[in-house]
């Protein structure tokens, strides 16, 4: 019996594997407010100490992963709208990572789960299954980034220069994150109707 790599079951399994690995990698790095189970320190006004640094470091890993997966999508996406979105995402993450570099935020260590996501994306075949998996992963990534960014804006005090720079970055990022979430939802609906 001949094996068909494009059966709905195979497409579903590949999509689920890519999405699950992406979500797992993002969730392990972006919880705002606590680090390794320790109670966070507070400033005199009750705001989290070092919140700007924590916020910026929390953006770096997901931005790197999104950059890498979007590069893959630029090559493998079969839907022209998915390919266009990957281009928007490349521009966004390149800008965010440039700002983080200017703020001297250290580049995160490669995460093994990120490596697994990248390997799954690289191994996936071009087609509708890849497009769906990429967009689903982007929706999940942007939701996590939205929560991280909105949480930071809600909890930060906007005090010193570092905090002000981080708040400016967060305000701009949140606008783009929301826009990308809406675009991805629209693309996802179109792909599900294909």
- Mean pLDDT along residues 165-187: 93
Task: Tell whether 72 is covered by a domain.
Answer: yes
State the residue range of the domain holding 149. 47-192
Q: Are 135 and 187 in contact (CB under 8 A)?
A: yes
Residue 1, class by beta-carbon neighbours within 10 Å (0-12 exposed, 13-18 middle, 19+ buried)? exposed
Task: Tell whether 3 is covered by a domain.
Answer: no
For residues 57 and 16, the model is more confident at 57
CATH of the domain at 139: 1.20.1260.10
Task: Tell whether 42 is covered by a domain.
Answer: no
Task: Tell whether 40 is covered by a domain.
Answer: no
Task: Tell whether 24 is covered by a domain.
Answer: no
**Chain segment 103-159, per-residue pLDDT in tens:** 888 888 877 877 887 888 888 899 999 999 899 889 988 998 999 999 999 988 777
Q: Give the angle 176-68-151 at the CA atoms, nearest 5°.
A: 40
Total structural domains within the chain: 1
**Chain segment 64-108, per-residue pLDDT in tens:** 889 999 999 999 999 999 999 999 999 989 998 998 898 888 888
pTM of the model: 0.73
Task: Give the side-chain half-sphere CA count within 13 A for 185.
Answer: 8
Place of tokens 């999940």: 140
Task: Tell whether 39 is covered by a domain.
Answer: no
């Amino acid at each position: 019996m001949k094996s068909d790599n494009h059966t709905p079951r195979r497409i579903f399994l590949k999509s689920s594997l890519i999405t699950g690995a992406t979500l797992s990698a993002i969730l392990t790095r972006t919880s705002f407010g606590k680090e390794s189970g320790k109670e966070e320190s507070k400033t005199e006004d009750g705001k989290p100490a070092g919140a700007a640094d924590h916020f910026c470091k929390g953006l770096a890993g997901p931005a790197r992963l999104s950059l890498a997966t979007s590069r893959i999508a630029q090559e493998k996406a079969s839907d022209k709208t998915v390919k266009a979105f990957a281009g928007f995402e490349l521009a966004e993450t390149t800008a965010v990572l440039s700002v983080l570099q200017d703020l001297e935020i250290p580049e995160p260590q490669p995460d093994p789960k990120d490596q697994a996501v990248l390997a799954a994306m690289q191994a996936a075949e071009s087609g509708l299954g890849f497009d769906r998996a990429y967009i689903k992963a982007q929706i999940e990534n942007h939701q996590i980034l939205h929560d991280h960014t909105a949480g930071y804006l809600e909890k930060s005090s906007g005090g010193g220069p570092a905090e002000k720079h981080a708040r400016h970055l967060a305000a701009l990022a949140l606008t783009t994150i929301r826009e990308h979430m809406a675009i991805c939802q629209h693309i996802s609906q179109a792909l599900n109707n294909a």
